[in-house]
Structure 1
């Protein structure tokens, strides 16, 4: 199984979660929300878990002073996330800080030769795509929990974006319709734990199996084929991260 967007360090018991992921041989992209969280989160990794360097858009106005730290760590991280933009009304006052931080991140990734990036685009799909278009050398963008329009999805596909899809996204008809339009060779599963509820409690990383089942149903394929598609996609993406 694959969980390509999970905040392992933000669970109440991160060491236990990390150990369970390794025991289950779950392939995890453990994203961070601030550069200062990098050291502690990296210490949880190893084995089947990769740590990504991030600066979450909802924290951009508070943590933009950590960009120099981001730049210092970046050469040692092939994966970046969670980064991006959030267009929610509660973050409108900090929009310019978000844009400045995301632009800095993309430029840094571009200068570093490109990175695999897990990107937040809630209510901000078009501005995210606009900036990705300005920095085509920034790497491979993976739009986590994409909620844009069909037109924005088509644009994202044309720009080479990938998508990570979790159980929460697949609970709505709109989410399923978007997944049905996504290129099968550019989709991975995610939990976005611990920020998602599953069965009335915090989702666990290995509960991405719910998403695997739902995507297979959307695409009309059996679980064996679905597992092979996801495995092939992950191997392709990991090879890009090693370049």
Structure 2
């Protein structure tokens, strides 16, 4: 089974061309999320999407402190995007001051997508609000990226049918481990969130993806983690198809 990375930031690597080629040569299915519509637009102009590498149209809630959500560009691009991300809410630190602006932005994004688009969602200290907006707009094909909220909201998200992308950094805390154990294995996906995670104390790059799978598989006592993730991702993207 080919490896799948459902949340990766190609544009944050200085040697992005090298890793673009590496991902394709090694046939690692990779979803490259972006933090603004402008970054998505630039990535699509620089690189062709391939069988193995796709770009997601995003607006990371953290970006709201440095630039306004470009609704016009987002609207122009959303029709071509199969994947939407990184999007969501973040109510940590000074981002709490932009709570209402974030809520309006995420609500607009969720109201704009179609039933075939897949979301990768950020939800720091805002899990319940994220859940409520997703349910309000009946968004189905959703991956909760690096979930770190409470177990009660986690249960609600699971009941609604959502998936969860997990990484090795979640293994480093008791809370993270508890979350991993609480997610049904048929809802698990693997992410790197590269370059914002480490594997064996080294900054992640795509050559370390198999090690991510191995470490998470060992923790979950799932020797066929590659096969499990492959099937889960297939189930996600074919939701609603006869």
TM superposition score normalised by structure 1: 0.90
The residue number in structure 2 matching 1:140 is: 141
Give the conservation status (yes or no) of the 8 Å contact 2:199–2:212.
Answer: no
1:40 partner SS = helix
| 1:58–1:86 contact (8 Å) kept in structure 2 | yes
Q: What pairs with 1:175-186 in structure 2 (closer than 5 Å)?
A: 175-186=176-187
Change beyond 3 A, Cα 1:52–1:213? same
User: What does residue 226 of structure 2 align with?
Assistant: 227
* Conserved 8 A contact 1:79-1:241: no
Unaligned runs of 5+ in 2: none
Structure 1 unmatched ranges of 5 or more? none
Asked if 1:13 is matched to 2:15, the reply is yes
The residue that corresponds to 1:122 in the other structure is 124
Moved more, 193-202 or 22-31: 193-202
CA–CA distance in structure 2, aligned partners of residues 209 and 49 of structure 1: 17
Whether contact under 8 Å (2:165, 2:189) holds in the other structure is yes
Residues 121 and 65 of structure 1: CA distance in aligned 2, closer, same or farther (over 3 Å): closer
Return closer, same or farther for 1:63/1:108 CA change in 2, 3 Å cut-off. farther
Aligned counterpart, 1:153: 154
Q: SS at 2:119's partner residue? A: strand
CA–CA distance in structure 1, aligned partners of residues 78 and 92 of structure 2: 28
What CA RMSD, in Å, does the superposition of the two structures yield over aligned residues? 2.0
> Contact 1:57 / 1:85 at 8 angstroms: preserved in 2?
yes
For residues 19-45 of structure 1, give each alpha carbon's deviation from its aligned partner in whole angstroms, at most 9, with x where no partner exists: 111111111000010001123222433
* Pair 69,156 (structure 1): closer, same or farther in 2 beyond 3 Å: same
Name the residue aligned to 1:23: 25
Question: CA shift at 1:114, angstroms?
Answer: 4.5
Q: Kindly report which structure 2 residues correspond to 1:55-74, keeping only aligned pairs within 5 A, or say none.
A: 55-74=59-78
Q: Which moved more, 1:73-82 or 1:60-69?
A: 60-69
Shift, 1:215, TM fit = 2.7
> Does residue 1:236 correspond to 2:226, yes or no?
no
Answer yes or no: is 1:87 the counterpart of 2:91: yes
Q: 1:216/1:201 Cα in 2 relative to 1: closer, same or farther (>3 Å)?
A: closer
Distance across 2 between alignment mates of 1:240 and 1:53? 20
Give secondary structure in 1 for the equivalent of 2:238: helix
Aligned-residue offset at 1:71: 1.3
1:187 maps to which residue? 188
In structure 2, do the counterparts of structure 1 residues 101 and 181 end up closer, same or farther at CA, with 3 Å as the change threshold?
A: same
Distance 1:38 1:131 in 2: 24
Normalising by structure 2, we get a TM-score of 0.91
1:180–1:218: 8 Å Cα contact kept in structure 2?
A: no
Bigger helix fraction? 1
Distance verdict in 2 for CA 1:242–1:190, change over 3 Å: farther
CA deviations on 1:154-193 (whole Å, 9 max, x unpaired) are: 1110121100001111222221221112121111111111
How many residue pairs are counted as aligned between the two chains?
238
